[in-house]
Amino acid sequence: MGNSRWVDPAPLEVARPRLPWWTMLPRWVKLVLLPLALAVVVVWVLAKVVRVVWFYPVSVALGLVTLLLRAWAGPWVFGAVVAAAAVVLFVWWWRDKTTFDVWLRWPRTEFRRVAVYAYQWRTVVRLSSLTASAKGREYLPRLRRTRSEGWRDRVRVRMVKGQAPEQWEARASGLAHAFGSQSCRVRVIRPGVIELDLVHSNPLASAVALPAMGSESAVDLRRVVVGRTETGKPWRLRLLGNHLLTVGVSGAGKGSLLWSVVWALAPLVKAGAVRLVGIDPKGGMELGQVPEIFDRVVYDNGEAAVTLLEEVAADVRKRAATYRGVRRLWARETGEPFTLLVVDELADLIAYQTDKRLRERAQAALQTITSQGRAPGFGVLAFVQDPRKEVVPFRNLFPTRVAMRLDEAVQVDMVLGDGLRARGANAHEISESTPGVAWIKVDGHRDPVRARAFHVTDTNLVELRHYITGGSAIIVPFPDAGPHEGAAA
């Protein structure tokens, strides 16, 4: 013990408590500020209550009714009412699922907002790197209104200051997986606010039945109905003052769109107000099914096809000269028919033609028609499988572009425009079992539209021929025609 030395103990380090600033105020100041503090708390609580009522009105109303009924009627009556309501809802769902889904949209919306989105919102946006930090404070995107439509949820989001919609588009796939959806699309609502379309099922999985032949007065060349969009609305195409380029692999359903357009125009074709001119370089495999409805039709890509293009181009220049100083756009009152040029395989005319002279003549004529033909009443409906620039060098002359099933992801932006695939237009992911499904991009509109053309059968084409030509026949349906058999594709 004699050799032991005293060792000084280590100093005790205790963190100094940091008290709120208001605890240092004099007592009389606290008494003066107490009513103001209580008012702030009351306003904060009321704001939270209003927010809950705003986002969950049905749940709040059902909760209040449940409490009042339980207190007023007792447990036995309350249980009987709940059981009866459950039976009624089940029978309603069983007998008419469509109206059931419509009327229960709000309860479903509120449930999914809480259970799917609000519950994990902070975690998902943090893991997706969609938050921001400044001066030690974290800023999160705010979850706003949610709407559930059965096949998709529309989730409105207020972005963090300084964010761009492109940041959300880059993480759309991860957001879809995080929220249990098939896909996620980003749409801009207004500056700082976006809407996420989280798709759960495919509303275009079933073929869209062709409607009955319309009347002549019902056809509007500015709004030609050719199918149905994924939201259930009619798919309308503008033909007057427009050209359409449709791209898709073999079997994608390009023929469904072609004949849907012709079916819609049939009353005007019969009346002479619309003239159809066709070129089918595949030997007439498509347009040759009903050649009688065309004013002129050619079944190759040689001299006859090029001559026809040059004749149409000459008609464009002639009619434009007639309209100069008189009118700016074709109208039916002019007495001249609207001319629709249908080219079933555009590449065979302007790219695959081995004769350089014919190829250059075809390109020159088509460029004249597409650049000058919209105002004097000429439209082009062109179909092609290869969307590369060297195949269709003047894609920009087609204001409306339709992308059906494509082979590669890079082809989506070739057809629809740069950045469209990032916004959800995944035409390369369209199933082979859904011919006629397409993504549509119209100049002047930021977001593409997904739709499906009508299902046109061989029986419908026979009916179309006899309607326009005035013939008569007994139309016998083809045997065992499934949803994809006997269709124009």
Strands of the sheet containing 183-190, edge to edge, are 142-148, 152-158, 193-199, 183-190
Average pLDDT for residues 338-360, to the nearest whole number? Answer: 89
> What's the confidence (pLDDT) of residue 483?
45
> What's the confidence (pLDDT) of residue 485?
42
CA distance 31 to 38: 11
For 218, phi and psi rounded to 5 degrees?
-85, -10
CA distance 445 to 300: 36
Q: Look over the chain and give the mean of its residue pLDDT values, rounded to a whole number.
A: 86
Encode the chain in three state secondary structure. CCCCCCCCCCCCCCCCCCCCHHHHCCHHHHHHHHHHHHHHHHHHHHHHHHHHHHHCHHHHHHHHHHHHHHHHHHHHHHHHHHHHHHHHHHHHHHHCHHHHHHHCHHHHHHHHHHHHHHHHHHHHHHHCCCCEEECCEEECCEEEEEEECCCEEEEEEECCCCCCHHHHHHCHHHHHHHCCCCEEEEEEEECCEEEEEEECCCCCCCCEECCCCCCHHHCCCCCEEEEEECCCCEEEECCCCCCEEEECCCCCCHHHHHHHHHHHHHHHHHHCCEEEEEECCCCCCCHHHCHHHCCEEECCCCHHHHHHHHHHHHHHHHHHHHHCCCCCCCCHHHCCCEEEEEECCHHHHHCCCCCHHHHHHHHHHHHHHHHHCCCCCEEEEEEECCCCCCCCCCHHHCCEEEECCCCCCHHHHHHHCCCCCCCCCCHHHCCCCCCCEEEEEECCCCCCEEEEEEECEHHHHHHHHHHHHCCCCCCCCCCCCCCCCCECC
CA distance 86 to 90: 6
> What's the confidence (pLDDT) of residue 14?
64
> What's the confidence (pLDDT) of residue 398?
92
Our CA angle for 8, 10, 11, nearest 5°, is 115
Q: How confident is the model at residue 35 (pLDDT cuts 50, 70, 90)?
A: confident
pLDDT above 80 (res 6): no
Nearest-CA neighbor of 212 among 175, 269, 176, 263? 263
Average pLDDT for residues 128-134, to the nearest whole number? Answer: 92
* 11 vs 320, higher pLDDT: 320
pLDDT above 80 (res 458): yes
The gap between the terminal CA atoms of the chain, to the nearest Å, is 104
The fold of 110-201 is Threonyl-tRNA Synthetase; Chain A, domain 2 (3.30.980)
> What's the confidence (pLDDT) of residue 10?
64
Q: CB neighbours (10 Å) of residue 239? A: 26
Q: What is the pLDDT of residues 189-205, one digit of tens each?
A: 999 999 999 998 899 99
Average pLDDT for residues 400-424, to the nearest whole number? Answer: 89
pLDDT above 60 (res 486): no
User: CB-hemisphere CA count at 13 Å for 456?
Assistant: 28
> What's the confidence (pLDDT) of residue 439?
94
Tell me the CA distances in angstroms from 445 to 398, 406, 440, one per residue in order: 14, 22, 10
Q: How confident is the model at residue 480 (pLDDT cuts 50, 70, 90)?
A: very low
Q: How confident is the model at residue 312 (pLDDT cuts 50, 70, 90)?
A: very high
CATH 3.40.50.300 domain residues, the chain: 209-469
CA distance 341 to 347: 15
pLDDT above 70 (res 479): no
List binding-site positions for ATP.
248-255
pLDDT above 90 (res 338): yes
Architecture of domain 209-469: 3-Layer(aba) Sandwich (3.40)
pLDDT above 90 (res 355): no
CATH 3.30.980.40 domain residues, the chain: 110-201
Q: What is the pLDDT of residues 56-113, one digit of tens each?
A: 777 777 778 777 877 787 778 778 878 888 888 888 778 877 777 777 777 888 888 8
pLDDT above 70 (res 477): no
Q: What is the pLDDT of residues 250-297, one digit of tens each?
A: 989 999 999 999 999 999 999 999 999 999 988 888 888 899 999 999
> What's the confidence (pLDDT) of residue 315?
94
Average pLDDT for residues 231-250, to the nearest whole number? Answer: 93
pTM, rounded to two decimals = 0.80
pLDDT above 70 (res 2): no
Tell me the CA distances in angstroms from 16 to 19, 22, 24, 219, 276, one per residue in order: 9, 17, 15, 82, 88
List binding-site positions.
248-255
Tell me the CA distances in angstroms from 211 to 284, 452, 488, one per residue in order: 26, 14, 16
356-372 and 303-323 helices, crossing angle to 10°: 30
Contacts of 481 (CB under 8 A, 6+ apart): 457, 459
From 39-53, 84-98, 170-184, 447-461, the region with the lowest mean pLDDT? 84-98
pLDDT above 50 (res 132): yes
Q: How confident is the model at residue 239 (pLDDT cuts 50, 70, 90)?
A: very high
CA distance 115 to 111: 6
